[in-house]
Amino acid sequence: MGKELSSEVKQALQDIYYHERTGRGWEALALLERASAAGDGDASCVLGRCYCGHQYVWSGHGFPEDDDKAIHYLHKSVEQGSALGVLVSMRMGELTPEMEQKMPFGSLQEAFDEAQELADSGDAFCQYVVANAYFWWDFVRIQNRDRDSFPKEDAAFNAAYKAYLKENISKCEELFWKALRNGMYFAANNLNRYYTQGDEDIILPQPEKAKDLWKIGAEYGHPLHQSIYAKDLEKEGRKEDALYWYKQAAEGGEPGGWCDVGRCYLQGIGTSKDEAYAVKCYEKELPNGNVTSHNVLGEAYFLGKGVGQDYAKAVELLTFACNKGSKYGLFYLAKCHFNGWGTPQDYVQARQYLDRVDWNHWEADYLRGLIYANGLGVAADIPKGVGYLQKAGDHPEAKAELAKYKKTLFGKWVRR
């Protein structure tokens, strides 16, 4: 294999990592699959990363997370002679001794040297991969120099070992910067960790160097960094600037990006309140199965806020979010089922939703009180119902219902 990336891999890297907002991720994935099938190990390596989930590829592409496929392609890349595949497989714990025996390199150092040549040629992905070998200490295995490699009879062996580590780990900094400037947005994530956390007592934190990382990534056009930068600006009180970058992220395809824009218009952050436009923003996230958008829109339809009141639509949206584990719309769903709004009246289902409302909510307690005191879908239990009504507090509805019950001389609650 030549020490240059194929045109197919170069194009795929552009669309998947360097200019991800163009929306050509799936075309790039297909291109990699064809190249991998034709024997391109670097294509197999990148393809393996694409199936590893959001920690390895932008979630905005919508690629499925598939561990089996990821491992298959990473192993394949090693066998096909990809130096990048060797380093990436090592980083992900997939370069077992058995796999190492299958690589067509005389040593890990030989594979590393080839990857270094690719990085020196200016490719951002290659620079990022090599930087990771330094950042995550993979160089220790590559160079076969661990703590035991330093003579213990030397009183300063521990200092010598730390000096060795520091010399190598620190090489990641310049490489990550090169990768970031050449388009690899992931490099900023590790740079941020390098600067803010340091590395044990070997590399000291330098948080001041991290302060502009998300701004740089945002200005380069990476949707994820635009979203992070916008959140930082909002915390600083620069709300109009935050809204600008939220919009940039959303238009670039950042998952949940339109929810951030919608929230700004719903609450008047950096702009005047516009509930109708906020609804339109949240609606753009529905096809992605975004739970927040379903919750907020479900509430909007329930209340008629920014959109015409539609209980059936509210039930549909909130049920989706509820089935995904969200508790946000539980009370609204309970009230709809209790009253038969937008769905058949069902006291049993209403009570099931109410039983999951585990925060203080007077009206939820009021409805529980009605259900138990009147035996709605459950055996009547006046004392239990009264207990919930009392918990509902001084709200007129609860007080009016409580007035229907009294205590007997023996202290038992009964209907008047």
CB 25 within 8 A of CB 33: no
Q: What percent of the chain has pLDDT over 70?
A: 98
Average pLDDT of the segment spanning 201-217: 96
| Separation of alpha carbons 262 and 140, rounded Å | 48
Model confidence pLDDT, tens digit, residues 329-378: 999 999 999 999 999 999 999 999 999 999 999 999 999 999 999 999 99
Complete DSSP assignment for 43-111: HHHHHHHHTS-TTTS-GGG-PPP-HHHHHHHHHHHHHTT-HHHHHHHHHTT---HHHHHHSSSS-HHHH
| Separation of alpha carbons 26 and 115, rounded Å | 26
SS3 415: strand
Average pLDDT of the segment spanning 80-109: 96
Average pLDDT of the segment spanning 295-305: 98
What does the block give as tokens for 29? Answer: 């994935």
pLDDT band at 292 (very low <50, low <70, confident <90, very high): very high
Q: Where is average pLDDT lowest: 186-190, 355-359, 380-384, 409-413?
A: 409-413
Backbone torsions φ then ψ of 270, nearest 5 degrees: 75, 5
Question: Using a CB cutoff of 8 Å and minimum separation of 24, what contacts does 223-228 make?
Answer: 223/20, 223/21, 223/58, 223/60, 223/248, 223/249, 223/250, 223/252, 223/253, 223/254, 223/257, 224/58, 224/60, 224/185, 224/249, 224/254, 225/185, 225/188, 226/252, 226/254, 227/254, 227/256, 227/257, 227/260
Q: Tell me the CA distances in angstroms from 196 to 165, 199, 205, 340, one per residue in order.
A: 19, 10, 5, 54
How crowded is residue 332: how many other Cβ atoms within 10 Å of its Cβ?
A: 23
Is the pLDDT at 1 greater than 60, yes or no? no
Average pLDDT of the segment spanning 402-407: 94
Give the residues across from 414 on adjacent strands: 406
pTM of the predicted model, to two decimals?
0.91
| Separation of alpha carbons 414 and 286, rounded Å | 49
Going by the DSSP 8-state scheme, the letter that residue 234 receives in this structure is H
What does the block give as tokens for 364? Answer: 């939820």
The pLDDT value given to residue 149: 76
Model confidence pLDDT, tens digit, residues 184-205: 999 999 999 999 999 999 999 9
The whole-chain average pLDDT of the chain stands at 95
Q: What angle do CA 136, 138, 143 make, to 5 degrees?
A: 145
The pLDDT value given to residue 158: 74
Average pLDDT of the segment spanning 24-32: 98
The pLDDT value given to residue 153: 61
